[in-house]
A and B are shown apart, each in its own frame.
Chain A
Amino acid sequence: MSFKYVGKPIPPQDGFLKVTGTATYTFDLELPGMLYAKLVTSTVPHARIKKIDVSRALGVPGVVRVVTGKEYPYRVGMYAGDRDLLAIDKVNWVGHPVAAVIAETLEAAEKAIDLVDVEYEELPAIFDPLEALKPDALLIHEKMEEYRHSPAFKPIPGTNIANKFTLVRGDVEKGFRESDVVLEEEFHISHVSHCYMEVQNVIAHYHLDGTVEIWTSWQNVAPVRQIMALSLGIPHNKIIVRIPYVGGGFGGKAGLGWEALVAILSKAAGHRPVKLVLSRKEQFSTAAVREGFHAFAKAGFKKDGTFNAYSVRFILDAGAYADYTVNVGRAVGYSADGCYEIPNINVESLTVYTNKIPTTALRGFGYPESHWVLEQIIDRAAKKLGIDPSEIRRKNLVKPGHSHTCTGERLREDAGDPQKVLKTLVDEIGWGKPSENPPEPWKVRAKGLSLFVKGPAQPPNAAASAILKFNEDASIDLLIATGNFGQGTVTALMQIVAEEFGLPLEKVRVDYVRDTHKSAYTWQTVGSRGLFTDGIAILKAIEDAKNQIFTVASEVLRCPKDQLELVDGEVRVKGKPWEKIPLQDIVMGYTYPNGNSIGGPVIGRGVFMSTHTTYLDPDTGQGNPTIFHTFGGTAVELELDLLTGEINILKAVEVLDLGKVINPLLVKQQTHGGLIMGTSISLYEEIKFDERGWVVNPNFTSYYLVRIKDLPREVVARYIETPQLDGPYGARGIGELTMIGVAPAIANAIYNSIGVKLDRLPMNPEYVWRALREQRPDLVEEAWKRFSKYEKIVEVTI
């Protein structure tokens, strides 16, 4: 089947606005009469607020109001419902907002925050989730039982556990007894920041009539409205949430934002619009980041490499608030088995409060975490068993149509071709073919593999919808709420519409503003689901519109509907292309020569609703959590400096079974982007805390991001197209997938070649250097000799 648009490398449709600097972000917006808010944040990690004195701050010219938490003691959230707008009586981390100054200018607000005097009575602070789990640990959330949480989660009041996820399948103890090799390993991950370039910023206007208008740099409109409606008690149709272009999200602009707070500030400031813009420092200390993590894993294998039993305990360092992280904890848990069939498996995943910065999802939603553990376990087992890492993977890979995942879901026949992913990966990296020797003899070159699978982490009833509206000239306005923060999804969706109607792409328009009032509902664009869910909804809307068009045309052309087709903007009778009506003569209703009219404006509607997903059983974690699985793999060839611990990626290969590549240009761009972000997080990124709980590197100088000069030397992206039959043109999601395999592939390369285990992220030079010295002093010694021994003896005159 040949297509005009689908499968073609169409440039991003918002490119023109972006290269001319005319794409509008919330950051660029101002409203008449707008005020500026600035947060006063806690300087201590855990304390009761004794007193807040705002009198000096109110004396700053231009300051309109100072708001404190006690005045508006709302609890807000999506999943755990644990968050305050401003600290109510206790601060729980360094950076916790305790008050907000509202002023005529940002300068006045910034001056005034220094003059808000807060008196604290300090409490002991807990920085390690393992400490927080001890029976005598101080409680960070004393009234957890009062929080309104989603039924998918199990908070445990009286402890610091925000969610306990349990999964049981088979008999893991028996599994271990029947295994020939049993490994026990530990892994750790540090906190990282999303570092989207556009900081979190919000404008809220709480009108006197009770209507609230929001402009925000967030991924999705619907959850913002839902959270505000539920926590502030405002009817949904009185909240209008608008999102223009968004300067990056990466999961950090899903979940809970600042909209409810800024709405309250607008109300408090006499119903004038208020804008809050976080500074980069606040992004690192006050906004939510990706959680830290410990994992304790035990894995049993049979001699032939069969993965027989797996028991893993994940402890997430969720920080002071875990509204969204409880769902990350759940996803870490149910993705513990990756793409392998493991008959006996036990998982416990605890999302634990500590007195650190709150946390949320980051590109991959728990899957990078679970795969960091699992994919290294596989390589360690392979070495113990003397089996090649690609072979042990081949042996244990799930078989779509036959295998069950650890939640007991039978994988659909058309879920993808993991064996082909593995084979392509192995071929592209030249697995089994030794690397060339590095020019410097104190370095080693190595190759590593990692496979992965992911589906969206979402509630079972997460819906999507689309409205498709024709204009007089048969151009189309597509009213969708699909988040548009850089992924290319919207361009792909426009291609589908143009393809289906046989119209030029220019005839399809998606407005850049998402609007709860004007866009069709979609639950969220997260978890790589946008193209899949919203694509399906759009295809249904197209079908609906076509049906309306054919109904009219069939009357006009006096021909049954099933004999009609849409070609090049015309409705034609099949086999008689001269019997036709141009689309523009139908889409507003057809008018006969005498003026009689039939039909009417064509508006297509379509929905996506998942039919087979379920909640997971609270005791066993069994059920169907997701709507598709995308299989993929990452392989790297790297060079390791044994003396400095530096890792240099020479080649990175990414293979994904996408079902159908709708836009090869943008899919490649996503893949490259994920590989780069994955490299950055694997090697360098880490939020560091000191003993007081202060973030000590809240800027891009001391928190390093990979830049243009640090790219992997060569990248290869390969796609397999095993169609998912109910996906749009067979497609599955991709956005987050591209990042998951990078870290384990790097660690595996080093483990395979020199046996050094890298258990924690990031694998920065100093950490790798230490690991090398501890685990392979002989190699380091040898490298040192090679480095410091020169054959050429040079003499000088003294």
Chain B
Amino acid sequence: MSFGAPYLTLPEFTYHKPKSLKEALQLLNEFRDEAKVMAGGVGLIAFMKERLLAPNHVIDIKDIPELKIIEYRKGEGLKIGATVTMSEIEKHDIVREKYVALHQAVKAGSDPIIKNRATLVGNICEAIPWVDGPVPLIAYNAELEIMSVDNVRRMPVSEFIKGPVEISLEPNEIVTSVYLPDLPPEAKSLFMKFNTGSEFALATLAAYVNDSKKPRDARLVYGAVSTKPVRAYEAEKIILTNKNISEAVILAAEKASKEIDVISDVLATEDYRRHLVKLLTINVLSRIFEVG
């Protein structure tokens, strides 16, 4: 035993590079707990170096054509395959124009070199509390498509992430895509993060409102403040029930900073995070409602 995990090399495993989804699912079905699926590899390889993971089999899904797809269909929404990289998402026109919070989260998420390999689905599956990817997805009510040899299921991202590095995935399942519902033309969404003096965020917020003039549906999702992204339901209600939105923004910010679960960790204390939640909320909502 040594302090930390000072390794530069990886533990041993067998590498597989299936050419089809079917082949990948069969391999996974065979090896189950012994295997890990690799998309961009950014998280997996780092985790293996830290010896947080030591699978006997690594199944690389980069050669599977259907997982490389990013496409938007009117009325249906946006589908992002498991191996679509952050760089590809960031450059995608529909993402930039329509799914603004996602675009901003991806843009701010990491450096451009990492983004050439990192994937959004990988980002979700890592379930590191500080990462940005899942936060806007939860605000959009996005769902994951999850497959195994004999099953296909869908699950909201919000339910999929259970806690730090803990996800709702059976050993024989692969997350194949993430689906973002289509948004009404008036919808507005924004993402903001506070990470001055830190690589990881101390607090993030993704907000979604169906219509800033007639809000009927509002979601406030906070990342990096707790063990997983959290929603501020009471604060959302304030926005939907208050005619004077300038006032509602402040009240919602106060509420959000009190109602959600917030933790202290190596990056920041609970106090400071609650304060940042308040500031982020005012910043984001006043931009959405143009009250600033």
Contact = CB atoms under 8 A, between A and B. Distances in A.
Interface of A: 38-43, 94-95, 106-107, 110, 113-114, 116-118, 277-279, 281-282, 285-286, 643-644, 646, 683-684, 688, 694-698, 700-702, 704, 762, 764-766, 769-770, 787-788, 790, 792-798
B151 interface: no
B282 A787 contact: yes
Contacts of B282: 787-788
Nearest to A791: B246
B9 A792 contact: no
Nearest to A282: B6
Given A790-B246, A795-B244, A798-B241, A42 B279 contact: no
Nearest to B1: A43
A787 B244 CA distance: 17
B3 A41 contact: yes
11 contacts: A110-B9, A281-B4, A281-B5, A286-B6, A684-B198, A701-B199, A764-B197, A790-B246, A793-B291, A796-B245, A796-B289
Contacts of B26: none
Given A765-B197, A790-B292, A40 B2 contact: yes
B291 A281 contact: no
B243 A644 contact: no
Nearest to B2: A41
B194 interface: yes
Contact of B243 (A113, A279, A770, A798): A798
Interface in B1-55: 1-9
A46 to B, nearest CB: 14
A457 B286 CA distance: 55
The 8 A-B residue pairs whose C-beta atoms are closest, nearest first, are A684-B197, A279-B6, A107-B9, A701-B199, A41-B2, A797-B214, A766-B272, A41-B3
Contact of B1 (A118, A688, A795, A798): A118
Given A643-B279, A790-B292, A796-B215, 7 more contacts: A95-B4, A106-B8, A279-B6, A704-B197, A762-B197, A766-B268, A796-B213
A529 to B, nearest CB: 33
B265 to A, nearest CB: 9
Interface in B233-247: 240-246
B248 to A, nearest CB: 8
B244 A114 contact: no
Contacts of A286: 3, 6
Contacts of A43: 1-3
B197 A698 contact: no
A157 to B, nearest CB: 29
A277 B214 CA distance: 62
Contact of A704 (B2, B198, B269): B198
Contacts of B5: 281
A95 B5 CA distance: 11
Contacts of A696: 266
Nearest to A694: B3
Contacts of B202: 766
Nearest to A703: B199
Nearest to B272: A766
A113 B267 CA distance: 30
B37 to A, nearest CB: 23
Given A43-B1, A766-B268, A797 B8 contact: no
A787 B286 CA distance: 11
B291 A701 contact: no
A730 to B, nearest CB: 41
Nearest to A94: B3
A106 B9 contact: yes
A36 to B, nearest CB: 10
B197 A683 contact: yes
Nearest to B273: A766
Interface string B81-116: 000000000000000000000000000000000000
Contacts of A798: 240-243
B250 A788 contact: yes
Contact of B246 (A117, A704, A793): A793
Given A688-B266, A766-B272, A794 B290 contact: yes
A359 B6 CA distance: 20
Given A43-B2, A95-B3, A702-B267, A794 B198 contact: no
A700 B266 CA distance: 13
A644 B245 contact: no
